[in-house]
Structure 1
Amino acid sequence: MLFAFLCKDKPGALQLRLDTRPAHLEWLNGLNAAQKIAFAGPFLDQDGKPDGSLVVVEAANQAEAEAMAANDPYAIAGLFETVDVRAWNWTVNKPES
């Protein structure tokens, strides 16, 4: 089952995001190697600067997805103001399995 992590950065936390980005990308690459990630990327503010994240993962259930979200280096570093983990159904333009 797919789950979307909808993450909003704390105000004024751009430098924390930039400092933590290498560890975050390593974490994403690990999920990709384990075939657990569908896609991911930052939300952008009006100036085109990142201010949140969208990560879509494959997990067995809500608890597994929430544990994955909690292990994101951005979350561990305290970057996010909020993280919403929601089950998601990919309906249009889903790549072939």
Structure 2
Amino acid sequence: MKLAHRLASRSDQKAKSEVIAQLVHLARKERLSYDEFAYVCQQARKKLKLEKPKRERRLPQLLTAEELNRFFEAVRDEGQVQHDLLAQAAVVHCHSRR
């Protein structure tokens, strides 16, 4: 990280710390309860037109054919009939959804 960037982030942290200190001072002075403080923050976000960033939605990571084969072999080799049947049912279900 470059020195200029580190210095900028330090001053940014200091500025945020000062804002936090001011908020704490005001909340204590006004003796705000948890719910009242939450309401004040909510109203401040509205007035500032701040919106919660959308959560990134990731696609699930799919197993390769080789990984799937190893998994099903391990289930079969375990000797538990119930597990083998469940694995087979899952495969049938996945293929029927295509």
Question: After TM superposition, is the score higher than 0.5?
Answer: no
Higher-Rg member (1/2): 2
Q: Into which bin does the TM-score normalised by the smaller protein fall?
A: under 0.3
Higher relative contact order (CA 8 A, sep 6+): 1
Provide the TM-score with structure 1 as the length reference.
0.25
